[in-house]
Amino acid sequence: MKIVTLTDNRTQSGRLETEHGLSLYIETDCGQKILYDTGQSDLFMHNAEKLGVDLQEIDKVVISHGHYDHVGGLIAFLRVNKTAKVYMNATLFNYEYFSLKSGVKKLNGFAPELLQYSDRFVLLDKNTFADNLWMITYIDHAYEMPKGNAILYRQYEGVEELDKSEHE
């Protein structure tokens, strides 16, 4: 298995750019090419090019959760790669995610424009084994949530509440 970090908060390479968020390229032993998250922008695409990763060869995208720093580059990717399916937790579109940092409401999730690609989404409502890949959609949160999550909220049918991170 090969894992290449396309974007992260830090880098030790002077030729790669960084941003808050995560995107990984994974090549499995059985030949699958997977994009795990897309960071907060299309920056991962520029780093992929520098690292020799051809994004048009990606077979599938796996989205860990719906926050902007993990899905922000998804639209840019879908414009370039016309075939990859996107695997994600089925609850991701149920809520509008936002943060209240400094008291200002800021969208923290999927851009509405993503709905034009809904035919490429594979929504998972349970742990699934598909195409030689385990996708875990629910992990019991038997631990205290990080203090930084206190500014993260979700909204459903006009009701706002703390983001319980059930989509992660």
What is the separation of C-alpha 11 from the centre of its chain, rounded to a whole number of angstroms? 19
Q: Does domain 2-92+110-138 have CATH number 3.60.15.10?
A: yes
- Dist CA 106 CA 98 (whole Å): 5
Tell me the whole-structure pTM to 2 decimals.
0.80
Q: Where are the domains of the chain?
A: 2-92+110-138
Tens digit of pLDDT for each residue in 67-116? 777 889 999 999 999 999 999 887 776 666 656 666 655 555 667 788 88
Can you give the pLDDT at residue 43?
Answer: 96
Which residues in the chain land under pLDDT 50? none
- Dist CA 60 CA 66 (whole Å): 17
Tokens coding 134:
């385990």
Q: What is the DSSP letter of 95?
A: S
